[in-house]
Amino acid sequence: MVDRRNRDLRYLAIFAGSLILLNILSSFFFTRLDFTREKRYTLSPVSKSILKDLDSELQVTVYLEGDFPAGFKRLRNSTRDMLTEFKAYSGGNLHFDFVNPSTGDAKTQEAAVQDLAAKGIEATNLSVKTEEGMSQKMIFPAALLTYKGRQMAVRLLQNRAGASPEEVLNNSVQNLEYAFASAIKKLVKEGKPRIGFTEGHGELSDLQLNDAMKSLEDGYEVGRVDLNVIPMQGLSKLSVLIIPKPDAAFTELEKYKIDHFVMNGGRIIWAIDQVNAELDSLRGAGEQLAFPKKLNLDDILFKYGVRINYDLVADMNCAQVPISVGNVGGQSQIQLLPWLFYPVFMPTSLHPLVKNLDGIRSEFASTIDTIPVKNVRKQVILSTSPFNRILETPTMLSLQMVEQEPDPRAFQNAQKPVGVLLEGSFPSNFKNRPVPEGIVGGGELPAFSKPAKMIVIGDGDILKNQVSSTDGSPFPLGYDRYSQQQYGNKNLLLNAADYLTDDSGIIQLRNKEIKIRLLDRARIRTEKTFWQVVNLGLPLLLLLIFGIAHHYIRVNKYGR
């Protein structure tokens, strides 16, 4: 008996010592285990690297707090889980808290709303089901990051037209790591990448680009660039060059500077209107001849691997425009009607640039053809719907087209590319060609560029924000003042800027997938009673069986 007791004590001492030794060793190693199938709680190496760069306190204030429906509670809890993971890898520099800005009296809440709006956090109206019916509740699905006196807002809710509430919330949860990691990287980075919008060719004005430039200013230095006067040294300091809807031809000198920029690994966004067509001209004259522009860019784009066609996309998936449909009592009757030449492109590509983005609103867009070019990879990121029709130019446009019911049989067509991503080593457009007059310090261009990227879009209005006709103030990019609908144009621009300026692969985090595991409502209705019996009765039955078995085992063991 004594030997057995000593042996048990020895085993207990070994077990306790092992636990103590394991605890001591674990203090020198850091690891976290994620047992979910899609590794939803596992941070990517990119995120961990960004968090290691924190050398000061980062405060994250999340405004998603309060009494929410189950879906928003899930988003709130997922945000808390994600920030807990971020905190674990931040070396103690990241702190977060959840705040409800809708507390207090009406005056306090109004002040909170104005303060958050000034910081770039907009409220969202949520319909909540109550005993009395439906009520509207204002929520703020966003977070505010503060680091070394700099602040940046992060939107947590990713809306998408046509998606169910479950899909919207799931997309939002999937996007959390990218949203926070991207914002932290921009806050931590001291020197901001420079983005230049070209001017001097009738491009979009500062007012029309107001929200595009303002939205980029959080993470970039943004300004206008005149290719005719900027020196090569100044151009080389740019990370991204954006060409927003030029209306006049580029000179060979300006094209040489663009080619020089690309040969040195530059990144470009081409937002080009190949056809001269504007709705304002149609309103004034009733009809307009849509004819090709002469931008002198076809050769350089062809060399890089794309051709923007001289045509117009008419798509049954389109935005609406206000049209006068009559006059009653001296008052013009305005009605919103679909305008086939304002296509809305629904991103179907799984590329992180456009994955889960809302529809992209365009105006008088053109199709794009890709050309095989060695060492250049191409991927279509935007395309028409299957219900499109292509009009070759020149062609006559008239507002009376709005009144004509389109024949669906004439709009059954294969999807056409309107936005293409190109990556690789591009051939020079000026190889074995004389240097244009006026170039200083250009030197001979190589046959192929350093690794470069560019995005080509067959519409310049994708980057244009609408302007109020009453006070001349700009609306947010992608917002349609007529239908009061927000499209995904701004997110497309921000994603494009992130993708073109960052080679660490952070935008690949947008490919993170979390499967929706919803209950089958049909089976719930038909099998409700069965599963209630199983869930309530089976544990009691197992407990009863265990008790009886335990009783007979004891009787059998000690009864002898």
In degrees and rounded to multiples of 5, residue 366 shows phi and psi of -120, 155
> Token digits for 306?
């794309």
Give the residue extent of every domain in the chain.
Answer: 45-187, 193-487
Fold equal for 45-187 and 193-487? no
- Look at 17-31, 248-262, 362-376 and tell me which has the smallest mean pLDDT: 17-31
Q: Note the pLDDT of residue 393.
A: 92
| Structural domain 45-187, CATH architecture | 3-Layer(aba) Sandwich (3.40)
388 three-class SS = strand
Q: Please report the DSSP string for 85-144 in residue order.
A: HHHHTTTT-EEEEE--TT-S-HHHHHHHHHHHHHTT---EEEEEEETTEEEEEEE--EEE
pLDDT number for residue 424: 96
What does the DSSP 8-state code read for residue 27? T
Among the ranges 45-59, 100-114, 412-426, which has the highest mean pLDDT value?
412-426
Tokens 């059954």 locate to 412
The model's confidence at residue 35, banded by pLDDT at 50, 70 and 90, is: low
Q: Which of 263-267, 319-323, 511-515 has the highest mean pLDDT?
A: 263-267
Q: Tell me the pLDDT band of 277, cut-offs 50, 70 and 90.
A: very high
Residues 501-511 have a mean pLDDT of 80
Residue 319 or 119, more confident? 319
Does the predicted model carry a pTM greater than 0.85? Answer: no
- Of 22-31, 403-412, 526-535, where does mean pLDDT reach its minimum? 22-31
Given a cut of 70, whether residue 1 has pLDDT beyond it is no
What pLDDT sits at residue 128? 55
193-487: CATH topology? Rossmann fold (3.40.50)
* 63 in Cβ contact with 116 (< 8 Å): yes
Residue 248 confidence class, pLDDT cut points 50, 70, 90? very high
> What is the C-alpha separation between 530 and 507, in angstroms, rounded?
46
From residue 509, alpha-carbon distances to 49, 175, 355, 408 in Å are 14, 8, 11, 39
Q: Determine the average pLDDT of the residues in 364-370.
A: 97
* CA dihedral sign, ordered 160, 164, 166, 167: negative
Distance CA 312, CA 390 (A): 6
Going by pLDDT thresholds of 50, 70 and 90, the confidence category of residue 207 is very high
User: Rounded CA gap, 269 and 493, in Å?
Assistant: 9
Distances, alpha carbon 262 to alpha carbons 171, 220, 436, 445, in Å: 35, 20, 17, 10
Q: What is the DSSP string of 167-214?
A: HHHHHHHHTHHHHHHHHHHHHH-SSPPEEEEEESSS---TTTTHHHHH
Mean pLDDT of 340-355: 92
User: How many Å apart are CA 350 and CA 201, to the nearest integer?
Assistant: 34
Tens digit of pLDDT for each residue in 458-504? 999 999 999 998 888 999 999 999 998 989 999 999 999 999 998 77
Ranking 27-36, 170-179, 483-492 by mean pLDDT, the lowest is 27-36
Q: CA 387, 275, 430: angle at the middle one, nearest 5?
A: 115
**Which distant-in-sequence residues (6+ apart) come within 8 Å of 532 by Cβ?**
none
Tokens of 25: 């060793």
Strand 452-457 versus strand 267-271 pairing type: parallel
- According to the model, what pLDDT value does residue 29 have? 53
